[in-house]
Structure 1
Amino acid sequence: MIRKYKLNNKGNVYLALNNEQIMASVTISDGEIDNLIVSPEYQGRGYGKKALHFGINQLLNQGYKDIRICYMENNTVAENLYYSLGFKPVQTTHVYREFL
């Protein structure tokens, strides 16, 4: 599922690279930051904030006035980053999955 998603939407996946090593990535779609990921060795250096700013600017340039982002509950690092950029919680969603 993840591999198929990335291939179908590869135009919306943006990477920050150091030579050929991925430092951070952000995926956008329909007014939403779908994924924001920072490689463990690059965390705590501001790359997440830069990638998030990039994604927000891409969506603003596409005409979106309202930007959404979802994250896993109890991810306080992500939550603090989003709050620092003005995001406010508007809804709590529960996601269920079954491991087969």
Structure 2
Amino acid sequence: MFRKFKQWFDHEPPVELAFPPQTMRVGEQTYQLRRMTNDDIDAALAMEKAIYHDTPWDRIAFISELRKTQRSLYLVLFDDDVMVAFIGCWFGKDEAHVTNIAVAPAYQGQGIGERLMQLMIDKAYDLGPSEITLEVRTDNTVAKHLYHKLGFQDGEIRHGYYVSTHADAMDMRKPLD
């Protein structure tokens, strides 16, 4: 409660995490990368459904996260007018947390997920948390391989973590020292 009152009386308004639109080159392909908006939610939900065959997040979850512009950053990657990937991350004082990442099936295996993850790791280094964390399905060997390659370490197993399928998740963390 005190924090909310303090924000009301602060002379400076809260600052949005800066992220100007930019191009991102992955291999020989150039993509457009920008902050996600509410207009991107339908495409993100469709992508999740194509990848996971169910939708771990719903529209309300995305809308809620996109409002938190001082502490979270959600990015979308486009090939012309087609969304090919997105990633979201929260940034706290001590920890950054990757909340969601998805790459459209036709674009998987091209290094896009690795580039987006590295971008969030770099942003976390810039903002100062001591670690970056995420959860991954225990049976997602491709994702776990990528996270290990990026320096993430295995952590605790969360049984029944994913509500719709009751699948287990593993906590993973990467120190940022």
Deviations 1:11-65 (A, max 9, x none): 4211111112111111101410111110001001000100111121222222212
Secondary structure in 1 aligned to 2:152?
A: coil
Q: Which residue of 2 aligns with 1:7?
A: 63
Whose relative contact order is higher, 1 or 2, with alpha carbons under 8 Å and at least 6 apart?
Answer: 1
Secondary structure in 1 aligned to 2:156?
A: coil
Q: Which residue of 2 aligns with 1:84?
A: 149
Distance 1:88 1:81 in 2: 11
1:39 aligns with 2:104: yes
TM-score, normalization by structure 2: 0.52
Q: Which residue of 1 aligns with 2:125?
A: 60
Q: Which residue of 2 aligns with 1:25?
A: 86
Distance 1:70 1:64 in 2: 18
Instruction: Please say which structure displays the higher CA radius of gyration.
Output: 2
Contact 1:33 1:56 in 2 (8 A): no
**Deviation at residue 98 of structure 1 after TM alignment:** 6.0
Give the gaps of 5 or more residues in structure 1: none
Distance 1:61 1:4 in 2: 30
1:97 aligns with 2:170: no
Q: Which moved more, 1:67-76 or 1:56-65?
A: 56-65
Distance 2:102 2:155 in 1: 22
Secondary structure in 1 aligned to 2:157?
A: coil
Q: Which moved more, 1:60-69 or 1:31-40?
A: 60-69
* Bigger strand fraction: 2
**Deviation at residue 96 of structure 1 after TM alignment:** 5.7
Q: Which moved more, 1:29-38 or 1:56-65?
A: 56-65
